[in-house]
Structure 1
Amino acid sequence: MTQVKAAAPAMDLLDERLRRGDGVRGVLGAVAERVRGGDLGVLPIVVGLVVIWTVFQLLNPVFLSSANLVNLLMESVSVGIIALGVVCVLLVGQIDLSVGSVSGLSAALTAVTFVDAGWPFWASILAAIAAGGAIGWVYAQMVTRLGVPSFVATLAGLLGFLGLQLWLLGSKGTINLPFDSGLVHFAQLAFVPAWLSYVLVVLAAGGIFVTGYSLARARRAAGLSARSTLLLVIRSVAVLVALGFAVWYLNQARGVGWMFVTFVALVLVMNYVLTRTAWGRAVFAIGGNVEAARRAGINVKRMYTSVFMLCSSLAAVGGLIAAARLAAANQASGAGDVNLNAIAAAVIGGTSLFGGRGSAFSALLGILVIQSISSGLTLLDLDSSFRFMVTGLVLALAVALDSVARRSRAAHGRA
C-alpha cells in the first residue's frame, strides 16, 4: 500500500487535500511530502532564478530593466532551441556533444547557399535543417547498428563538422547576411505588437485551462484520479496574471520578440509531444529502462533514430537563429561555449543525465538561468572567466540535486 502511494502522481496528493478542504496547511504538507519523496519539479530552478535576479539587481539596478530583459530573452533563443534537442537525447539516456558544431555548420551552409550561390533564403534554411537531420540519422546508425557509444560518435562529429564548417567558409572566414533579408529582420527587428501580445497571453491562459480540463475529464471517465477544477482555475489565473505583468513590463521597452515567441511555441509543442503522444511515452520508457521498453514492444532503434535526428535538426535551427542575430556566419559560429551551454541548460533546467526524467520546459528554464548569469556579469563589467566559473557551479549543483532526488525517490519507494 505504501508503494502504491509513493508511486501515485504527485499532483494527485494536492488535489486530494484541496477536495478535502485541508486548506493552505494541508497543501503545504502535500508539497513537503513531494519534496521528501524526491519530486522537486521546477522548484530548484525557480528559486535559483529568483536568487540570481535578486543578487544582480542589487549589484546593478539596470539588470531588471525592461530593456535589459528584452535583450536577455532574445539572446536566449538560439542556444535555447539547441538545448531543446539536447533534452530529447538526454531523456533516452544518450548524449550529443556535437550540437555546437552542427549549429555552426548550419549557419555556414545557409550563408554559402543564400549569399554566394544565390538560393532563395527559404531553400537555404530547408537545406540547413535537412543537413542537420541527416547528421542525426548518421549518429543513430552508428549507435544502433555499430554499437558506437553516443559519446564517441558525437565527439567525432564535433570535430568533423567543425572542420567542414571551416572548409565551407574558406579563406573568407566570414560571410555577411543581407540586413534586408527576412531571416535577419525576424531575428533582430520583429516584435509582437503590444495589443497582440496581450491577446496571446489570454489565449495561453485559456489554452492551459482547456487542455487541463479536457485531460481531467478523460481521466475521470476512465476511473483515474485527476486534477480538480479549482486547481486548474487557480493555475490558469496565475499564468494569466504572471504573463500579463511580464508582457506589460517588456512592452515598456521594445516588447516581446517574435523570435522568443517562436522558441516558446517550440517548447509547448515539444511538451505536448512528450506528454500526450505514444512517441513521448516511448521516449520516457526507454530512458527509464531500455531493456524493459524493448520487451514491451517499443522499437528502440527507431526511437533512437528519431531522437538523434530531432536533436540535430533543432541544433541546425539554433545555428540559423544565431547567424541571423549576428547577420553573419563565421568561423566562430557554434564554437566557444555554445555546445557546453546547450547541454548545461538542459541539465540545469531539470533534465536528468541518467535518462527518463525531464521536460521540454527544462530548455527554457535552463537557458534563462545561464543567460541571466551572462547578462548580469556583463553589466558588472566582469570578464568571461567569472561566467564560466559561476555557470559551472550552477551545473554542479543541478546534477547534485538530481542525484539526491533519485536516491530520495528510491528510498521513498522502498518505504
Structure 2
Amino acid sequence: MTQETQQPQQPIAAVDAADERLVRVVSPADYLRQLGGRLRGGDLGMLPVIFGLIAICAFFYSREPTFLSSRSLVTMTLYAAPLGIIALGIVLVLLLGEIDLSVGTVSGFTSATTAVMFVSHGQSLALSILVAIALGAAIGGGYAVLYVWIGVPSFVFTLAGLLAFEGALYWVLGDQGTINLPRGSGLPVFTRQKFLTDGQGYALVAVVVLVYVGSRLWTVRQRRAAGLTPPNVLGIAIKGGALAVGLGWLTYYLGIDRGWGYLPVLFAGLVVLMDLLLRRTRWGRYVYAVGGNEEAARRAGIRVGLIYGSVFVLCSTFAALGGVLVAGQLTTVSQSSGTTDTNLTAIAAAVIGGTSLFGGRGSAYSALLGILVLQAIRTGLNLMNVDSDVRLIVTGAVLLLAVAIDSVARRARSSSGRG
C-alpha cells in the first residue's frame, strides 16, 4: 500500500468557498451580515412597504378595533384581489421601465364584452370570459407591435388606448348603458360567495408549506451538485415552520367569519406563479436584464423585442381578467367600469409595493403588498367615516412617499456601486 493511498482524502471545498470575493449565506449570522450590507447600499427590497403596512394596521386598529376583525379582513382580501391582478400586470411593465396607462379602460371594455356576450347574446359564461381574456391578450399584442416595430413610446400608445377603449366601452354597451349580471350565475357566485372550508384551507396551507420546503431542498441539491455552498437546512426548516404557523393562524382567524375566498386564493396563486417565472426561468432573468440595461441585454444576445412583447401581452391579459372579476363582484357593467380610479389604483399599488419606476427592480409580491396597503387605507378610512376626498389625498401622499423612498434608495445604490 503506497503512501498516497494511506492518506485520507480531503473534502473538496465548494467553489464559492474558495473565492473570498463571493458572498456566501450559510449561517444566520451570514444572512444578517448580508442583509445589513444590502440595507446600507440602498437595496431596501420590500421592507418599507411591510413596515408601512404594519404601521397602517396598528393606526387604524387603535382608532377602530373592528378594523382587524375576521369579517373586515375577509372583505378586504375579497375586494383587493381583482385590482391586485391588474396591478400584477403593471408590475411586469414597470420592471422594464415602461408604463401602461390603459389597464383601467381595457378592463372595463373586456368586462363589457363578457357581459354583452353572456347576458345579451346568451353565450356561455366560460366562452364569454375566454373571449374577453383573448381580447386583452390581442390588445397587448397590438401594443407590442407599436412599441417594438414602430417605436412609439409606451406612454403615448397606452394614453391613446386609455381614450380609445373608453370609447369602445361605450360602443359595446350601446344604448343600454348598464348590464346587470344575474346574481345566481357562475361569475358573481365565484367572486362573492365561494369560500374554502376549514379543511380545505388547512390542506392548502400544508400544500404551500410542502412546496416551499421542497423547492428549497431542491435548491440545496442543485447547489451541491454544482459544487456550491447550499443554503442552511436549519434555516429552511425554521422558515417553513414560521410559514406554517403564520398561514395556519390566518386560516383559523379568517375562518371565524367566512374563511379564504376563492378570489383571493386565485390572486395569491397568480402572484406565486409570476414570482417563480421571474426568479426561476430564463424569461424572468431576461425581464430584469432588459429593465436594468436594455442595450447591455441586447448585446448579450437577448431578444429584447420578444421580452417587451410578452410583457405587454401579459399586462393587458391581467387587466382583462381583473376587469371580468370586478364585474362579477359588482354584478354589473356600466359606462363607468374601469374609468374611475382603476388605472391610478393599479399603478399606485405596484409602486407602493416596491416596484421601481426606473425599471429592473421589483417583485410579483409588490402587487400583493401594494394592493393590501391601499385596501387597508380605504377600509380604515371608511370605518372612521372619512370622506372620499381625504382617502384620495392620503393615497396620493403614500404614493409620493413610496416614490421618494425609491429615489433615495436608487441614489444610495449608485453611490455604493450596486446600480
Does the pair score TM above 0.5?
A: yes
Structure 1 residue aligned with 2:374: 370
Query: Contact (CA 8 Å) 2:82, 2:326: kept in 1 or not?
Result: yes
* AA partner of residue 326 (structure 2): A
Q: Write the mapping of 1:346-385 to structure 2, written as runs, cut at 5 A.
A: 346-385=350-389
Query: Contact (CA 8 Å) 2:118, 2:128: kept in 1 or not?
Result: yes
* AA partner of residue 235 (structure 2): L
**CA 284–27 in structure 1, closer or farther in 2 if over 3 Å, else same:** closer
- SS of alignment partner, residue 63 of structure 1: helix
Shift of 1:411: 2.0
Aligned with 1:99 (options 98, 103, 109): 103
Structure 2 residue aligned with 1:391: 395
User: 1:198-256: CA deviations, max 9, x gaps?
Assistant: 11111111111110121132123223344211111111111111111111100000111
Once residues 41 and 207 of structure 1 are traced to their aligned partners in structure 2, the CA distance between those partners, rounded to angstroms, is: 24
Shift of 1:45: 1.1
- Does residue 66 of structure 1 match 2:70? yes
Structure 2 residue aligned with 1:85: 89
**CA 283–400 in structure 1, closer or farther in 2 if over 3 Å, else same:** same
Once residues 411 and 235 of structure 2 are traced to their aligned partners in structure 1, the CA distance between those partners, rounded to angstroms, is: 30
**CA 340–226 in structure 1, closer or farther in 2 if over 3 Å, else same:** farther
TM-score by length of 2: 0.93
Shift of 1:30: 4.2
Unaligned runs of 5+ in 2: 1-18
**CA 171–414 in structure 1, closer or farther in 2 if over 3 Å, else same:** closer
Once residues 345 and 39 of structure 2 are traced to their aligned partners in structure 1, the CA distance between those partners, rounded to angstroms, is: 28
Shift of 1:401: 1.4
Q: Percentage identity across aligned positions? A: 51
- Does residue 201 of structure 1 match 2:205? yes
- Does residue 212 of structure 1 match 2:216? yes
User: 1:83-121: CA deviations, max 9, x gaps?
Assistant: 001111111111100000000001100000110011110
- SS of alignment partner, residue 41 of structure 1: coil
- SS of alignment partner, residue 257 of structure 2: coil
* AA partner of residue 48 (structure 2): P
- SS of alignment partner, residue 329 of structure 1: strand
* AA partner of residue 66 (structure 2): V
Shift of 1:149: 0.5
- Does residue 109 of structure 1 match 2:113? yes
* AA partner of residue 209 (structure 1): V
Aligned with 1:292 (options 292, 296, 313): 296
Shift of 1:414: 7.3
Once residues 395 and 314 of structure 1 are traced to their aligned partners in structure 2, the CA distance between those partners, rounded to angstroms, is: 22
- Does residue 237 of structure 1 match 2:241? yes
- SS of alignment partner, residue 175 of structure 1: strand
Q: Write the mapping of 1:254-333 to structure 2, written as runs, cut at 5 A.
A: 254-333=258-337
RMSD: 1.7
**CA 141–231 in structure 1, closer or farther in 2 if over 3 Å, else same:** same
* AA partner of residue 73 (structure 1): T
**CA 103–379 in structure 1, closer or farther in 2 if over 3 Å, else same:** same
**CA 100–39 in structure 1, closer or farther in 2 if over 3 Å, else same:** same
Query: Contact (CA 8 Å) 2:137, 2:314: kept in 1 or not?
Result: yes
Aligned with 2:154 (options 150, 173, 183): 150
Once residues 365 and 394 of structure 2 are traced to their aligned partners in structure 1, the CA distance between those partners, rounded to angstroms, is: 22
Query: Contact (CA 8 Å) 2:27, 2:232: kept in 1 or not?
Result: no
**CA 166–267 in structure 1, closer or farther in 2 if over 3 Å, else same:** same
- Does residue 53 of structure 1 match 2:53? no
Once residues 120 and 338 of structure 1 are traced to their aligned partners in structure 2, the CA distance between those partners, rounded to angstroms, is: 27
* AA partner of residue 85 (structure 1): G
Shift of 1:5: 8.2
- Does residue 129 of structure 1 match 2:129? no
Shift of 1:308: 0.4
TM-score by length of 1: 0.93
* AA partner of residue 306 (structure 1): S
Query: Contact (CA 8 Å) 2:26, 2:230: kept in 1 or not?
Result: no
Query: Contact (CA 8 Å) 2:42, 2:413: kept in 1 or not?
Result: yes
Query: Contact (CA 8 Å) 2:49, 2:370: kept in 1 or not?
Result: yes
Once residues 76 and 45 of structure 2 are traced to their aligned partners in structure 1, the CA distance between those partners, rounded to angstroms, is: 24
Shift of 1:282: 0.8
User: 1:49-72: CA deviations, max 9, x gaps?
Assistant: 110000001111110000010000
Query: Contact (CA 8 Å) 1:346, 1:363: kept in 2 or not?
Result: yes
| Residue correspondences, number | 401
User: 1:373-413: CA deviations, max 9, x gaps?
Assistant: 00001111111111111111111111111122222222222
**CA 273–126 in structure 1, closer or farther in 2 if over 3 Å, else same:** same
Query: Contact (CA 8 Å) 1:17, 1:30: kept in 2 or not?
Result: no
**CA 93–323 in structure 1, closer or farther in 2 if over 3 Å, else same:** same
Structure 1 residue aligned with 2:343: 339
- SS of alignment partner, residue 333 of structure 2: strand
* AA partner of residue 335 (structure 2): Q
- SS of alignment partner, residue 112 of structure 1: helix
Once residues 74 and 44 of structure 1 are traced to their aligned partners in structure 2, the CA distance between those partners, rounded to angstroms, is: 24
Once residues 208 and 141 of structure 2 are traced to their aligned partners in structure 1, the CA distance between those partners, rounded to angstroms, is: 35
- SS of alignment partner, residue 179 of structure 2: strand
Once residues 115 and 414 of structure 1 are traced to their aligned partners in structure 2, the CA distance between those partners, rounded to angstroms, is: 55
- SS of alignment partner, residue 413 of structure 1: coil
* AA partner of residue 269 (structure 2): A
Once residues 417 and 299 of structure 2 are traced to their aligned partners in structure 1, the CA distance between those partners, rounded to angstroms, is: 23
